[in-house]
Structure 1
Amino acid sequence: MRLNEIVFTDAKPVEGYGPGFFRIGGQVVHGPVTAGPDGTKTWGGYEDVEALLGFAGQVDVLFLGTGAEIGHIPDALRDALEEVGIGVETMASPAACRTYNVLLSEGRRIALALIPV
């Protein structure tokens, strides 16, 4: 029997990050970024709720990286995401990158939103 890896999304792993940037799937993105089933895109930060709501129906969990340290996200953002069925896990951006990569490799329905370190 031959088994082939099947990929159902355009999601790419996080390969690196540094002050003000992320490298995801070979692409360097400066500033806040999202990564998920539709690929990698720049993000407007916590006020850009619509970009994150676009993951509704595609993902079960959004890992939200708050920068170098863990921080709180606005209650309105969390409420809006949970209302459309997206669970939110908030953590420091480095931890969010690592967690996203592990679960992405398992084929989970996840997305990532990151504030730079």
Structure 2
Amino acid sequence: MTAPAFERSPAPRGPVVRGLSAGGFTIDGETYQAALLTPEGARAWQDAPPLAELIPAHVETVLALDPQPEFLILGTGAHQAFPPRAFVRALEERGIGVEAMDSRAAARTWGILRAEERWIVAALLPL
């Protein structure tokens, strides 16, 4: 009987979150307090607002992806919280869903869904 052969699938394109700490997110060797992620790359989220003040303009750079992302994974910080309803409604009107969860869960979810090659974006508020 021949043993099965296993092959590793190629890694999906885009940034990989490799670590989480109070200092931030380690993504492809860089540490970010807050981050915006697309399948094409990661960048520091310099103007990350408090969750209660979040508006679509704060995440426009990732929403402008072509083709449009399926949805935004929103890391809400150290604890799960709900974003402003107006923010969610504005994105849904554009056909972009919003999945809110604490930032640790959002970072893990990013990795799982990118491994499935889902066309998504993420905004991770500081831990």
In the TM superposition, 1:15-94 aligns within 5 A as: 15-29=18-32, 31-43=33-45, 44-45=47-48, 46-47=54-55, 48-55=58-65, 57-94=67-104
Decide whether the 8 Å contact of 1:13 with 1:24 is kept in 2. Answer: yes
Q: Given the two structures, how large is their TM-score scaled by the length of structure 1? A: 0.81
Distance in 1 (CA, whole Å) between partners of 2:113 and 2:60 is 24
Counterpart amino acid of 1:68?
A: A
Over 3 Å counting, the alpha-carbon distance change for 1:65 and 1:77 in structure 2 is same
Distance in 2 (CA, whole Å) between partners of 1:49 and 1:34 is 8
Decide whether the 8 Å contact of 2:63 with 2:69 is kept in 1. Answer: no
What is the SS of the residue equivalent to 1:57? coil
Decide whether the 8 Å contact of 1:68 with 1:116 is kept in 2. Answer: yes
**Percentage of pairs with the same residue:** 39
Q: Where does residue 6 of structure 2 map in the other structure?
A: none
What runs of 5+ residues in structure 1 fail to find an aligned partner? none
Q: Where does residue 108 of structure 1 map in the other structure?
A: 118
Q: Given the two structures, how large is their TM-score scaled by the length of structure 2? A: 0.75
What runs of 5+ residues in structure 2 fail to find an aligned partner? 1-8, 49-53
Q: Where does residue 3 of structure 2 map in the other structure?
A: none
Report the aligned-residue RMSD: 2.4
Number of aligned positions between the proteins: 113
* Pairwise CA distance, 1:5: 4.1
Distance in 1 (CA, whole Å) between partners of 2:11 and 2:31 is 25
